[in-house]
Amino acid sequence: MERWVSNPRQAGHAWLAVALAATALAWPAITSAAPVVFEASGSAPADIQTAFQEFRDFLGGNNNGVGGSFSDGRREINWDGVPDAFAAPNNLPANFFNKNSPRGVVFFTPGSGFQVSGNAGVAPIEFDNLRPDASRKFTTFSRQRLFTALGSPITEVMFFVPGKAQAATSKGFGAVFTHVTRDESTKIEYFDVNGRLLFSGFAPAIQGRETLSFLAVGFDEGEEVFLVRITSGDVELGGTDRGGRDLVVMDDFIYGEPQALN
């Protein structure tokens, strides 16, 4: 049974092989799970702050920050501490948040890589370097940086014991999006270690520019999330194909403390 809360409307080759194995099923069946869904949308950070905080409370414990390994709590990524050398116009290493700033996640994409938007005065903000009108469409939940995959709207997030090449699982994951204007354009899929789909949900849409949408799902009946697949709209940034109608990028990530895979 689903429970809905707050509805105000490239790493190393070994890690890549594991990720591909985990997602080998093209059309996985949804397994029995008990998702707790948190979602919100609006034109200002305050419009989604309650849902974001409720997901924090669901995960429990502290924000465990960088490094170490803990039995409870959560990790958060807001992109703002990424050094300029790893932000626009430069790319972000896929394993930055398990090597440089270990928080237990590694990213994968069928595209060409990842980028964090630049700081004002250093580089064009909010991906204006990739698309001149981008900053007129996007806004931030936590100033001032955003995150995107390049050449694909798909980002996969795989969990590790922070700072180690040891696979892990999490009890839940959420993301903030900006400029979700169409229903069913932006979604998060949650997979277990066998590649089975535990849950799939769409981020709430809202019309207009410079808007925010939040979607998070937690599991509290023993389910373990091994990999998350995020589809951010249907327009590529940093690619040759600009087709599609919903240009979406991401802000904050929040997820349960990665626990070593048994």
What does each C-alpha distance from 188 to 123, 129, 154, 248 come to in angstroms?
30, 26, 10, 13
Find the angle CA(62)-CA(39)-CA(91) to the nearest 5 degrees.
Answer: 70
pLDDT of residue 241: 63
Q: Are 181 and 208 in contact (CB under 8 A)?
A: yes
pLDDT at 245 over 50: yes
Per-residue pLDDT tens for 38-95?
999 999 999 999 999 999 999 999 999 999 999 999 999 999 999 999 999 999 999 9
Domain total in the chain: 1
Q: Which of 189, 178, 213 is nearest to 35 (CA)?
A: 189
Residue numbers of the domain that contains 139: 3-25+32-260
Amino acid identity for residue 247 in this structure? L
pLDDT at 10 over 50: no
Which letter does DSSP use for residue 118 in this model?
A: P
Q: Are 33 and 192 in contact (CB under 8 A)?
A: no
pLDDT at 27 over 70: no
Q: Which residues contact 49 (CB under 8 A, 6 or more apart)?
A: none
Per-residue pLDDT tens for 153-205?
999 999 999 999 999 999 999 999 999 999 999 999 999 999 999 999 999 99
pLDDT of residue 33: 61
At which residue do the structure tokens 């237990």 appear? Answer: 104
pLDDT classification of 242: cutoffs 50, 70, 90: low
Q: Which residues contact 13 (CB under 8 A, 6 or more apart)?
A: none
pLDDT at 5 over 70: no
At which residue do the structure tokens 């903030």 appear? Answer: 176
Instruction: Give the Cα separation of 72 and 146 in Å (integer).
Output: 27
pLDDT of residue 196: 96
- CATH number of domain containing 244: 2.60.120
pLDDT at 19 over 50: no
pLDDT of residue 143: 87
Range in 34-38, 202-206, 235-239 with the lowest mean pLDDT: 235-239
pLDDT at 210 over 60: yes
Instruction: Give the Cα separation of 16 and 234 in Å (integer).
Output: 24
pLDDT of residue 23: 44
